[in-house]
Amino acid sequence: MVAAITVTGCIPQPPDDSFYRGPESRPGLRSEAKPGDLVASKVSRFTLDPVTLNPVPGVRSWAVLYRSTGVSGAANTVSGTVLVPEAPWTGPGQRPLVTYGVGTRGVGDACAPSKTLAIGTDYEGGVINEALIRGWAVAVSDMVGLGTAGAHTYEVGREQGTALLDIARAAQRLPGTGLDESTPVGIWGYSQGGTSAGWAAELAPTYAPELNVTGVAAGGVPADLRVVAENLDGNFFFSLLGLAAIGYDAAYPDLNLDSYLNDAGRTMVAQNQNFCIASAEGIMMFLDLSGRRIGEYFTSTNPLTTPEWIRRLDENRLGTAAPKAPVLLQHGLFDQVVPRSQADTLRQSWCAGGADVTWGDLLGEHALGIVLSIQPALDFLSARFAGIPMAGNCPA
C-alpha cells in the first residue's frame, strides 16, 4: 500500500471516465433486466506496473457495468473488472471463476478497483494475479457507489454480497470469457472483502442458486458491526467507523445520520466524502481521526445506540443462514481492527447451521493477516475446484 501511495502521487490520474456515469449506464435500471445482466462493457487494462502501465501479459481484461440489487430490493448498477487468462485451461473440468471481494478502499470514486487495477496502484493487484497464475478467471466488483453514481455503501453486507454474486453472473454472460452457468465458482475476500464473501456465501443458495459455488475463502471478517464499532471507538482505526456510518446512511436514508451530527461531525463527514485510504490525503485523514471517539462528533445521542441503527446493523450481521458451499474462515490471533471473538461467533453459527467450515488461525494482526491468508485461501479453493474431499473442523 505504501508503494502504491508513493507512486500514485507521481503519475497522472485518469479522468473521470464517462463509462461509469454516461447514458449507457442507465439501461441497468430497466425493469426487465435481471441481476447479473450486463449494462455495458469495454476492453480495459490490468497492470501491476504504475510507471510503464504495461499490462500483465497473457490476461484479457474488461471493465463492466452490471445490474445488481440493493438492500431495498431495487435494481442498481455496479461497476467492476473481469479478468481471464489467455492460455487454455489445463486443469480438471472447466476453468474456474473466482469472484473476489476487495478490502477497504474508502468511499471516493478514484479508489474504485476497476480504476486502480488499470493504473497499477491497487494494493490487492498481486493477490488477484496469484489467482490468474493458477489459470482461474477473476471477477472483481467495485461494490455499490465506487465509480458509479451515488455514495459507496461501505460495509453494508447484503449489498456487498449481491454485488459479488452478480459480477460472477455478469462474467459468465460476458462474450469472450468462455464462462457459463456450469463454471465452478469460488468466493474469496478479506476484511471488507471478507464481509462481502460471507454475505455472498449466505445469499447464494437463494439469491443465485444457479451459480455453481464450490468453495468460499473469507478472512478477517467483520461479521457483527456492532461489536466492530465498539472496538473501533477510540481505536487507531477509528476512521473505518466513520466510513461505515457514511455507508449505512447512504444505503438507508431513513437513518438520517445528519440529524445526530454536531459541527465537528458534519465537517468530518464532508471531508470523508472522497476518502481513499491508499492516497496521501487519505493517510493524513486516517491519522487525524486515529484514536478519536464517537462522542466527539455527535450531539447528546449516539446513533449506534438507537433502535433504528441497531436494527439496520443487525440486518447485516452474518450468521443467520449457513452457507451450502464449504468455507475456509481465517482470522488473526492479534487482530486489533476486527475482533476475533465475533468471527468465532460466526464460525459457531455456521457450524450449528450445518455448514462445512474450516477454521484457520493466523499468527498476526489485521494487516499482516491478509498476507498470511493468501496461500491457505489459494490452496483451499484449488482443492475445491479439483473436487478433493476435505472435512472441516467444526467443534464437535
Question: pLDDT tens digit string along 220-230?
Answer: 999 999 999 99
What is the Cα–Cα distance from 264 to 266, expressed in whole angstroms?
6
pLDDT for the residue numbered 281: 79
Q: How confident is the model at residue 22 (pLDDT cuts 50, 70, 90)?
A: low
pLDDT above 70: residue 9:
no
Provide the grid cell at 313: 446493523
Q: How confident is the model at residue 273 (pLDDT cuts 50, 70, 90)?
A: confident
Q: Is 165 helix (H, G, I), strand (E, B) or coil?
A: helix
Report percent pLDDT > 90 for the chain.
Answer: 80
pLDDT for the residue numbered 10: 38
pLDDT above 80: residue 27:
no
Q: Which residues contact 184 (CB under 8 A, 6 or more apart)?
A: 93, 94, 96, 97, 212, 214, 384, 385
Q: Where are the beta strands (DSSP E) in the chain?
A: 38-43, 59-69, 75-85, 97-101, 137-141, 184-190, 212-219, 327-332, 357-362
- List the chain domain ranges: 2-224+315-386
pLDDT for the residue numbered 216: 98
Provide the grid cell at 392: 472441516
Q: How confident is the model at residue 30 (pLDDT cuts 50, 70, 90)?
A: low
pTM of the model: 0.94
Provide the grid cell at 318: 452474518
DSSP 343-393: HHHHHHHHHHTT--EEEEEESS-HHHHHHHHHHHHHHHHHHHHHT------
pLDDT above 70: residue 31:
no
pLDDT above 80: residue 382:
yes
The CB density around residue 193, as the number of other CB atoms within 10 Å, is 29
pLDDT for the residue numbered 286: 84
Tens digits of residue pLDDT in 84-121: 999 999 999 999 999 999 999 988 899 999 999 999 99
Mean model confidence pLDDT for the chain: 91
| Domain 2-224+315-386 is found in CATH 3.60.15.10 | no
